[in-house]
Structure 1
């Protein structure tokens, strides 16, 4: 029996946009899967306190009217989400997420925005162990061409999903939890590595990918929104100084 047969906690968010520093969480799901038991599902619908752009609504289907009418106060929801993640992490249970750097980073930014303790500060050893199938796949099959979205990965590893269900946080979590054992069938080394080693290896694997991809983007003239080499949490870039303050220096 390996860590793949033990308890896992899946985590995903749907948000108002793609900026971890400036966007807000609209929905979140945490699903605990224990061997021989039905998954325990917790979901949150959050009133983000800002307008949800049309493009984000097209992705996750949560309208401004629904978020305002049914959404939780963000401070209450964020505290519950952080506590629900801190408990298993402190016990050594892995948190699993697809491109989870984004979800953990926006969570930390949201906790700071609302004056709540960061997830990192709640854990003596920091946010670990974390498992991200995307990071693992990029490293183990780095030369495969094509998209690596969750729906594509499920197709490649023969994980059955209903495409229309994805982009709901709970559906994404279930698909991601199913993806890991499917990946392990093709990559048996995943059965052998310890969670601690896997976490550390993902830190380095993500750093290498982000560094190389950022260099590629720069070679094509792109200098904005470059991937952060930090994992599993990328610290948001500091806000630029106001022009008035900069002008005072000269």
Structure 2
């Protein structure tokens, strides 16, 4: 079975910000779907334990007060999310999301924050296979330009437009909605990869030097390994671009989970008092 036709665990989070090392989960969704089996929704509404900045609230519409009133404790939520993902992975499902390295890394940091077992620890020797629609799309259509000054070439809304999926602004930036759109994007990309170029839609035929064929016939494990390489290449290209204006710019190309570094402390030991 080719990679886009198997069982998927669509994963997304909405958070307090974009720093995976410091920010927290506010909502999360894991949806089991595909593979000829029923859709299985799992949703979490979380009290992150810190204030939700106004900029984050503008995106997902959740305030600190609402999260405190309705959200479950962050440690319980993180533990349950990881258990659900691990269960799907052990059953052979592939975790799919858009820029999912962010979500998986942030979940990893949440688990470590509360002294809980990481996703890798829960899986033991069982592999975690991941599909990242941002990595796949950027590899397949590497020269796409920004649709507008405010919309990037690999944003989820852009991919929905490119692959002719409906987009609802009211529900966008909700974890369940974004997870499901990412899964549908993955399926569309996989379908194109296994379709003869002559039968592509006209919008895809117009892509400059498309590389959908690189995704053809791969197993999930093979696709996972290719994405490790592609994510690193894409990060290196972005870093090169950023260094034109900032020589110190660094873009981490680790995928699908950024490595954990133990915090260092520079605190001097307290002096003994008489």
Q: State if a TM-score over 0.5 links the two structures.
A: yes
Query: How big is the shift at 1:192?
Result: 1.2
Paired position in structure 2 for 1:49: 49
CA distance, structure 2, for counterparts of residue 227 and residue 100 of structure 1: 16
Offset at residue 181 of structure 1 (A): 1.8
Aligned to 2:20: 20
Aligned to 1:113: 113
1:248 alignment counterpart:
none
Shift of 1:240: 6.2
Task: Note if 1:122 corresponds to 2:146.
Answer: no
Change (3 A) 1:3 1:221: closer
* Structure with bigger gyration radius: 2
CA–CA separation in structure 2 for the residues paired with 1:67 and 1:222:
40
Mapped pair 1:153 → 2:159: yes
Of 103-112 and 154-163, more deviation after overlay is shown by: 154-163
> What is the DSSP-based 3-state SS (H/G/I as helix, E as strand, rest coil) of the residue aligned with 2:182?
helix
Closer/same/farther in 2, CA of residues 162 and 33 from structure 1, 3 Å limit: same
Q: SS at the partner of 1:208?
A: helix
Aligned equivalent of 2:241, options 199, 216, 227: 216
Task: Map 1:46-85 to 2 at 5 A.
Answer: 46-85=46-85
1:32 aligns with 2:32: yes
Which ranges of structure 2 fall in alignment gaps of 5 or more residues?
A: 147-152, 195-213, 270-274
* CA contact 1:151–1:163 (8 Å) conserved in 2: no
1:228 equivalent in alignment to 2:234: no
Q: Which TM-score applies when normalising by structure 2?
A: 0.83
For this pair of structures, how many residues does the alignment match? 244
How far does residue 221 in structure 1 lie from its aligned partner after superposition?
1.0
Aligned-CA RMSD value = 1.9
SS of equivalent residue, structure 1 residue 161: coil
Which whole-Å CA distance do the structure 2 matches of 1:235 and 1:201 have between them? 18
- Over 3 Å counting, the alpha-carbon distance change for 1:236 and 1:18 in structure 2 is farther
- The alpha-carbon deviation at position 53 of structure 1 amounts to 0.1
Could you list the runs of 5+ residues in structure 1 that have no partner in the other structure? 246-250
Tell me the SS of whatever aligns to 1:46: strand
- What is residue 7 of structure 1 aligned with on the other side? 7
TM-score under structure 1 normalisation?
0.91
The alpha-carbon deviation at position 218 of structure 1 amounts to: 1.9
